[in-house]
Structures are given as structure tokens and as C-alpha cells.
Chain A
């Protein structure tokens, strides 16, 4: 890529040196002319991107490609989630379990660590636009952080290609709705900072800042590189997990002052379900992977109560939680790994068979 950029730079440098003298004629405002040049060049860049099918070479784009090219002709069950789902569910094992029970399906996952709800919406649109086969069933992950801290990923990875790539007009609008809306109790100073950050990312996205060195033709994109998981680094002990998991399902004494889900999230979910429904999906549901956080579990319970019309699978089964009481089954307090993942996947398959109408 460096060679390509250096090659293009030779042309740019030559052009910059050639633009030398200015004759003092013309009455048109220089700023207007500058904008005209900028906009025309942007149109050319957009056309180039279109012709060469260039995409940001970032994990979410790789994920979209993987989803669009899911092999086989079995109906697709799509898990829409984040790293919680990535760590908690073994897709192949889940598919085998469902097939063994007479429901041969392909299980796909749309979601990456920290993906916010607005970004998720962005990639759902991308996926549905390019996929040859669309999902029959869509299951959405439930997590409190979608509502309480949806901009965490953005703040941790400021002005990176991944964050800029996802910040199109819809993502910006939805993000600003959350930042400036009433569904959170963020202080004014933080709201202003976040809004400026979102606008900054949007600006970079719109004018394709840094796009070329980060892009790749959609045909050449590798779809297997987005599923990376770091090794476990912290150990909290079996006793900790036994204690926390036993306590997690106890009813919370403090109820949330805000409605769950917020009107902001409910509206986006409506839009997402509408998109999937328009493209053939008929079954929808929600699930929350196991967690040691009481607040997170309480949020999930409230969410499921509000979404009574949909199947909702909460990992509150005491037997399951007791089986997960081992430190080595957890990456951290909310993410399962290895044997923990296997146990939960098996349990999840049974609940799907019981509670949903699988294709």
C-alpha cells in the first residue's frame, strides 16, 4: 500500500508545484472556487470507490463479507450482538445441535467487540444490501451498555479507521440522538465533547479522509480475520465466580429511573426488525449471555418484560450458572471462553428449541 500512496504522491507533488502563479482576474469568490474543486474531486473519488468496489479494510467490513458469503443453502439464524456473543456462543456447535434436533441451519453472527447500536444498524444495512442469502431468524443480544455507554468503543479508538468507517449519516444521526437526548443522564460537558467527536468522525467519513491507504477491493477482502480473541489475562478465582453468579439472579432492589428499553433503543430496534422483515426474516427474538453483573442481568429481565411479544432467553438458569462457576470458563466478568462457551452454547441450543420457531 505504501508504494501505491507514494506513487500517487508523486502526481500530487507535481500538481502542487505546477499550481504556481495566479493571474489577478475573475470576480468569483476564491473560497467558492476552492469548494467547487474540493466537491468535484470528492465526486471523482466516490466514483473511483464505486468502480473499484473499494471498502474500508476493517474488521466490521470483513464481518459483512463473511456474512454475505455464508456457504450452503440452509436457512440462516443470525445472532446480532457484540463481543458478549462472540465469546459466549460457538456458532458451529450451535448449528450442529440444532441440526441434530431436526433444524439444519447456518448460524451467523453480526457483531464485534464494542460495536455500538448505531454502528450495528450501519452494518446491518450493509449486510442486507450485499448478501445473496438473507436470514430467516434474527436474534438480538441484550446488553445494558448499549444504552448506558454506547460511545465507549468510539472513545477508546478515536479517529481509527474502524470508527470512521462506521460513521455515516445514519450512524451520526442516531449517535447524536442518544448524546443529545433524554435517555441518558450524561453531564452537559461530556455531551458536547461526544457530539464534537461524532461530528469529527462523520466529517472524516464524508470527505474520505485516510480512505485509500485503509481500503481494499471487496473481492480481495479476507473474511476470516475479524473473529480474533485475546488470551485471558486476569484471574479472579472460582470462589468469586460462584459467589457472583449465585447473586446475579437475585432481584435488584434499585429499579432504573429510565424506561427500559429507552425510546431511542426501541425505535432503532423497530427499524432493524423492519429491515430484516422486509428482506424475508420472519422470526425474531432476544437473548442475554451469562454475566456476573447484577445490574446487567436486571436490565435484561426488564428488557424481556417490555418485549413480551418476542421470545427472550435470559441466562438465569441456576443449573447453568452453577456449571459456569469456574474462573477458567471466563475471559473476564462478562465474557465466556472455552468450556464456558461450550456449556452455554449447548444450553442456548436447548432454549432455542423450546422457545422459538426455528426454520
Chain B
């Protein structure tokens, strides 16, 4: 069930009304678990069992870990993680693995009959397995208390607002909320409603309109002019941000309507002055998860420079592969890993370039912004394109090395897209400072939310695309 659908609207209204109508936090919790499984079953009921299996695995490991001696604790931790990774690996990477092994063997002149299976990718599997791993690791580390209540673990993993595409919520952050009944808070409801409306604008109006611009071009790269390819790349640069940030807003806003807090997933990433900053602002729940559960266990920035860069690259390559079983995602992760390494290198070199340079001057900041965002833009090309050849062709078009006469797009489109991102980021980042001046009367707020929702619905394309991150 997509967030942008009449079905979800009806579902949400019913669950919301029932949730606040019934008394008792435990009953409410069971209602949310039941409706979360209904939400998941809407796509394919068969995979509810898989999610339940992952939940039981996490719950049993969590309950058992505190009772074991250290060597057994570690073994159980790895067993539980291994089960989750096996589930994830089979459903998400089996086909990719078999295809690549076959290609490698073919290169050696071998053609063995490998077992080819058509494995359906269950929606949200990357997210709920990460939730399960987060819970078990947090219990192992002692940052989360082992849950006695199976319902709490089940709801933590299956909570429908974040089930399909995150944000990836930490067990230590979410489980304490489940132990106390979240009260009905008017401010929280208002915040939730505002986030949902903003998410609808981001996703349904903006991202889907930008998709109409770039989809035909990415589908037939060779037919278009350099100008069209650059426009499509910038349109996708906007689309993926508004799509995923919009999804995250709706998820966080929906959770808030039920009294639960989910940390923000995006913090205006296209205003980042470095890739390091970008990853503190983009898909924050994943980047922090990778930092805490992959990068730091690998050694982090301890040890030699070589080890440090290796850890950085390995984390980003895994991050790329997490997005999907394709070498394009690996290339995307590698580009970000390389960018991060170069940035760290630059931070080491910069002090030796002379003390007279003011690196905080506006000109340097603008240069850093442009360079960072150009790098991000180039990396998105690999993320979006169907093949390496298409991605390289678009990169050539960006730097003027491609000489093809083809269809063009309206010249002003790039300006409008950049203006939109600019307005969003500038107003979004500065609002905290100007907010008191615009403090709104409660009536104006709610009437305004209703009016904005009405206009947004009118502007959105009728046929909605699925959220990009649903495929991961």
C-alpha cells in the first residue's frame, strides 16, 4: 500500500480513529501490530511469515543474550545476525550472485548449470532486517534493554509508517517509547500533519513531476542532446531527494500522529559543503547505522591512514550494495567512498597550504558547495542509469565531451528545478531563526494546512510512481 493512495488514506483514517478511541496502551500496541501486518500483507501476504521469522529471531536472541557467558554471547550475536543476513542475502542478492558467478566462470571457459531461481524481493526487507540487527547488537552492547515483551519487538520491527522504506530507527531510541503509553499531544499532531502535507508536496507533486521529465530520457539516452541529458540528471538529482525526503516526512509524520517519534532522515543535504557533511544530512538513519554497525566495528578512524581509508571505502561499498544487487549501485557507493577519502585527505593537506587563506570565506564555501554537489550529481548518474555505458555517456555530456545532436528540453527547466531546491533548502534551514516572527495562530495553521493539501492534490500527476526506495 503506497502512502500516496486513496487506500492508504482510508487505512490511516480507520487506524487513527480506532487507535485514539480505544483505551489502554497494550491494546493500542496490538492494534498497531495487527494493522502493520495488514499494511504489509497488502503487497504480498506470503512475506508476513518472513517478517515474523526475522522478528522471532531477534526476540529470542535478545532474550537469551543477557543470560549467556561472553564467548557464547558473541556466538549467538553472530548467529542471529547471520540469520538476518542470510534472509536478506537470499532474497536480495541471490540472482545477482548467481549471475556474476556464471559470468566469472564463463570467462574461465566453464559453463556449469547454476541453480537459477526467480526470487521475489519482499518490500522493506532491507529495512526490517536492519531493524532486527540493530536490536540484537544494541542488546549485546548494552545500549538497549532486552525486551521481555514480544509485542514490543514485533512493533519495533513492523511499525507500518517506517516498514517499507525506513527511516531505520534504532532499538535504543524506539523501544523506550513502546514501554510507556504515548499520550495524545496536540503539538505532536500538528507537527505530524505538517510533515505529512510537506511529504505529499515533495513526493506526489514535485518528485513525480520531475520523474516525468527524466524517465523518458534515462530510458533512451542516445536519442537526446547534451542539454537534455544534463537537464534529466538535474531533474533526477531533485527527484530522488524530494521522493525519499517526502516519503520520510510522511513516515515520520504518520508515526507522530500515533504519538511516536522517529528521528529525521534528511536535513537539507544539497546544502552540504563536503561529502562528509552530505552523509550527515542524506538518509541519516542509514548513514548513522552504517557508521555504528559497520564502520566503527571495522576499526573506524583508529589505526593507520590506509586502514582508515579502507574502512571508509568498505562501508560505502556496502552502502551502495545495500541499495540493490547491481554493479551500478556499487559504483555509486565507490564514488561516494572515493569522495569521502579525498575530502579526508584534503582536510589533512589544507593546513599546510598556508595560514593566510580564509577557508570560511563565502567564495570558498560556494566553491565547496558546487564541487560537492557536482560530485553527488555525477554519482546519482550511476544510481539511476540502467547501464554503465549510459552513465558514462551522461557524464561525457555533462563535461561537454559528447557530440550528439538530439532532442532538447525547455531551457528554463534547469533554472526552475534549481530554484525549487534552493527555496526548499534556504527556507528549510533558516526557518528556525525566523520562525518566532511567523509564529502562527493555531487556527491559521490548521486552515493553512488544509488549503496547502488541497492545492498539492490538484498539482500532483494523476498516475503516481512508486517510491524509489521501496525497491531497496
What residues make up the interface of A, taking CB atoms closer than 8 Å to B? 2-3, 5-10, 12-26, 28, 30, 33-42, 45, 159-161, 164, 200, 203-204, 207-214
Contacts and interface: CB of A to CB of B under 8 A. Distances in A.
B443 A34 contact: no
Given A6-B209, A13-B427, 19 more contacts: A2-B209, A3-B412, A5-B209, A9-B201, A12-B201, A17-B427, A19-B449, A21-B435, A21-B445, A23-B440, A23-B441, A26-B441, A33-B442, A34-B447, A35-B450, A204-B462, A207-B457, A209-B457, A210-B462
Interface string B30-74: 000000000000000000000000000000000000000000000
A21 B186 contact: no
Contacts of A200: 6
Interface in B417-467: 417, 419-420, 423-424, 427-428, 431, 435-436, 438-443, 445-463
A20 B431 contact: yes
A303 B357 CA distance: 91
Interface of B: 6, 186-187, 189-190, 193-194, 197-198, 201-202, 205-206, 209-210, 212-213, 410, 412-413, 416-417, 419-420, 423-424, 427-428, 431, 435-436, 438-443, 445-463
A343 to B, nearest CB: 40
A17 B428 contact: yes
Nearest to A209: B457
A138 B431 CA distance: 63
B447 A24 contact: no
Contacts, number: 183
Contacts of A37: 446-454
B451 A38 contact: yes
Contact of B6 (A39, A203, A214): A203
A28 B451 CA distance: 17
B194 A16 contact: yes
Nearest to B455: A41
A15 B448 contact: yes
A37 B442 CA distance: 13
7 contacts: A13-B424, A16-B198, A33-B443, A33-B450, A37-B453, A42-B454, A211-B458
Contacts of A16: 194, 197-198, 201, 452
B242 to A, nearest CB: 9
A337 to B, nearest CB: 30
Contacts of A204: 6, 462
A17 B431 contact: yes
Contact of A38 (B198, B206, B441, B454): B454
A5 B6 CA distance: 22
A21 B6 contact: no
The 8 closest A-B pairs by CB, nearest first: A37-B450, A210-B462, A41-B454, A33-B446, A37-B447, A38-B450, A41-B451, A34-B450
A13 B421 CA distance: 10
B189 A12 contact: no
A213 B461 contact: yes
A164 B457 CA distance: 14
Contact of A25 (B202, B438, B442): B442
Contacts of A14: 423, 427
A13 B420 contact: yes
Given A10-B419, A13-B420, A16-B197, A21 B448 contact: no
Contacts of A211: 458
Contacts of B462: 159-161, 164, 204, 209-210, 213-214
Nearest to A12: B201
Contacts of A19: 194, 440, 445, 448-449, 452
A20 B213 contact: no
A3 B6 CA distance: 27
A30 to B, nearest CB: 5
Contacts of B450: 33-41
Contacts of B424: 13, 17
Contacts of B439: 20-21, 23
Contacts of B416: 3, 6-7, 10
A41 B452 CA distance: 8
Task: Select the residue from A3, A9, A17, A18 with max chain B CB neighbours within 10 A.
Answer: A9
Contact of A12 (B442, B443, B455): B455
B35 to A, nearest CB: 19
Nearest to A165: B462
A306 B85 CA distance: 69
B459 A8 contact: yes
A33 B202 CA distance: 23
Contacts of B451: 37-38, 40-41
Contacts of A20: 194, 431, 435, 438-440
A213 B459 contact: yes
A21 B440 CA distance: 6
Contacts of A24: 186-187, 442
A24 to B, nearest CB: 7
Task: Select the residue from A6, A23, A36 with max chain B CB neighbours within 10 A.
Answer: A6
Contacts of B447: 33-34, 36-37, 40
